[in-house]
A = this chain, B = another copy of it.
Amino acid sequence: MMGITRYTRILALFDEEHPAWTVADISAALDTSASTLYRLIREMVAADFLESTVESRYRLGPFFVEYYRRLRLTDPLVLSGAKFLRPLLGQIPCPCTTILARLYGKTVMCVAEERANTASFATSYELGRPMPLLRGATSMAVLSTLPKRQIMKLVSEASDAPKDADTLYAEFTGIRKIGISETHGQVDPGLVGIAAPVRSTDLGINASLSVIIEQHNLTTEIRPHIYAALSSTARMIEGFMAELSVPGAHIP
């Protein structure tokens, strides 16, 4: 075993279905000796990546809460975009959720969200949850910001491509042209996602800003409102990111 993966493959075991692990189970899952694992786990507990709990089990530690905050305070996308999510909520005349999402490996992940008090429905795009690349307006808008070569690569590697690569690429061209992606029930039945691409080639950021509403609320009157609110907010976020990338704005 080598490098950082010694630690990350242990972390990767901890999820909603497996919140707490014994050393014996980790040993079986990773085919690694208990002696080595006790040493690694002791290190990870000292670093607050893990902590020990009942029944000789270990769970994730509070380190990740601290570094989630550090990311919120340093990441140019979150820094520029999160503050617009609540105002955007106010511009949408029906119960909705607003989402800032970005490319994350071979997935798209929400990195900030706001939910109207009136929104009773649940969305799959939760903060921090990796989602499929090729389904839903949020993902499609993110993909549309990428160079063609990278899109084709991601599409070809995707196991769940709903259409062939060229058809998909035509869709991305359309999204780039009108600046909006709209999909119906591709992620959650009964819900509609409407998203605007957000990008900063300078900072290497490929992201999107989305509004999720219930399908029956999407009338021909409110659609233009939503499109306009998304487009203008996306442009403002890009403006703030551009400011962050001016030389000398960093204080290292």
Check B18 against A252 for contact (C-beta < 8 Å): yes
Q: Pick the most buried of A14, A44, A53, A252: most chain B CB atoms within 10 A of its CB.
A: A252
A243 to chain B, nearest CB (A): 13
Check A4 against B102 for contact (C-beta < 8 Å): no
**Assembled-state Cα–Cα distance A180/B109 (Å):** 40
Check A130 against B57 for contact (C-beta < 8 Å): no
Q: How many chain-A residues does the 8 Å CB contact rule pick out?
A: 63
Check B127 against A73 for contact (C-beta < 8 Å): no
A165 to chain B, nearest CB (A): 26
Check A22 against B57 for contact (C-beta < 8 Å): no
Check A75 against B60 for contact (C-beta < 8 Å): yes
Q: Say whether, besides A8-B47, A60-B67, A204-B53, A74 and B19 are in contact (CB < 8 Å).
A: yes
A60 to chain B, nearest CB (A): 5
Q: Which of A70-89 contact B (CB under 8 A)?
A: 70-76
List of B residues within 8 angstroms of A199 by Cβ: none
Closest to A52 in B: B204
A104 to chain B, nearest CB (A): 5
A20 interface residue per 8 A CB criterion: yes
Check A105 against B48 for contact (C-beta < 8 Å): yes
A111 interface residue per 8 A CB criterion: yes
Residues of A contacting B: mostly: mixed
A169 interface residue per 8 A CB criterion: no
Check A70 against B14 for contact (C-beta < 8 Å): yes
List of B residues within 8 angstroms of A189 by Cβ: none
Taking a contact as CB atoms closer than 8 A, the residue among B51, B70, B126 that contacts A15 in the complex is B70
A5 interface residue per 8 A CB criterion: yes
A178 interface residue per 8 A CB criterion: no
List of B residues within 8 angstroms of A51 by Cβ: 204
Partner-B contacts on A (CB < 8 A)? 3-5, 7-8, 11, 14-22, 25, 43-44, 46-49, 51-55, 57, 59-60, 62, 64-76, 102, 104-105, 109, 111, 117, 126-130, 202-204, 245, 247, 250-252
Ranked nearest first, the 10 interchain pairs of A and B with the lowest CB-CB distance are A69-B128, A19-B74, A68-B68, A64-B67, A16-B73, A65-B128, A4-B43, A60-B71, A3-B43, A66-B128
- 12 A-B pairs whose Cβ atoms sit less than 8 Å apart in the complex: A15-B73, A20-B250, A22-B252, A54-B203, A54-B245, A59-B75, A59-B76, A62-B71, A64-B71, A65-B128, A67-B128, A68-B127
